[in-house]
Amino acid sequence: MTCLPAHTDKKLGLAIDLDTCVGCQACVSACKGWNDQGYGASLSDQNPYGANPSGTFLNRVHSYQVAPDEGAVQTIAFPRSCLHCDDAPCVTVCPTGASYKRAEDGIVLVNEDACIGCGLCAWACPYGARELDAAAGVMKKCTLCVDRIYNENLPEVDRVPACVRSCPTGARHFGDFADPESNVSRLSRERGGVALMPEMGTAPTNRYLPPRRKDTLAAPALAPLGDFMATGLAGWLDRILGGR
């Protein structure tokens, strides 16, 4: 069994904005692509083009329809991956010590050489963030792209998790939650960041920034155009469409 560190110098994690995530799956593709060639064993797929495909993913995006007490039903895209919990049950339940939490940055990782694929960590994780790679026979999970964020051979702008770098709407943010002035700490504080299922007592590091009610936003008032006349191509279209 592995003991959790009493203290971590940093608490690296993600702040995920559910208001701007559109469920495009770019983060899923980027995660799969990077981890097929980076840290640890590749993420295998079984019968990917057949009738019953399966595969290993470290990040998945689900869609839910939310019906508020008042107003229109909203569709929420909800990304899901390891939350790098302070009190990670996947670590303490591991019989070989393969699962561990790093004291220097709080990232939860798997030593694949010590993993026997027993699945106890997947059973203990309340978030479904562990997956057994059928080809490698070991448990896989989000690593926060530990082989990217400390890689000085990469440009500084790329030293973030692949999912963060690839998000077209800027919905994913990476930083140190132990620093109250970091980007993720400020975002979580300003937007009321939510820990997923806090009642489980795992103290997850990642935070979700809640979505706004889209049907209650007031439309901005438009300034009167007055005698404004468009010129150029816009003016030509205005004359054609207006019959002038």
Give a yes or no: residue 225 inside a domain.
no
Over the stretch 16-59, which tens digit does the pLDDT of each residue have?
999 999 999 999 999 999 988 755 567 889 998 999 989 999 99
Give a yes or no: residue 1 inside a domain.
no
Does 229 have pLDDT greater than 70?
no
Domain holding 40, by residue range, is 12-212
For the entire predicted model, the pTM comes to 0.83
Judged by phi (left if over 0) then psi (alpha if -120 to 50, else beta), residue 114 lies in alpha
Report which of residues 242 and 91 the model is more confident about: 91
Q: What is the DSSP letter of 109?
A: E
d(CA 43, CA 55): 7
Give a yes or no: residue 243 inside a domain.
no
Q: Which amino acid is at 15?
A: A
Give a yes or no: residue 223 inside a domain.
no
Interacting residues of 240 by C-beta distance below 8 A, sequence separation 6+: none
**What's the structural domain count of the chain?**
1
Give a yes or no: residue 222 inside a domain.
no
Give a yes or no: residue 227 inside a domain.
no
Give a yes or no: residue 19 inside a domain.
yes
Report which of residues 228 and 74 the model is more confident about: 74
Q: Please provide the average confidence, as pLDDT, over all residues in the chain.
A: 89
Residue 220: pLDDT band (50, 70, 90) is low
CATH of the domain at 49: 3.30.70.20
Give a yes or no: residue 229 inside a domain.
no
| pLDDT for residue 48 | 85
Contact 127, 137 (CB under 8 A): no
| pLDDT for residue 2 | 77
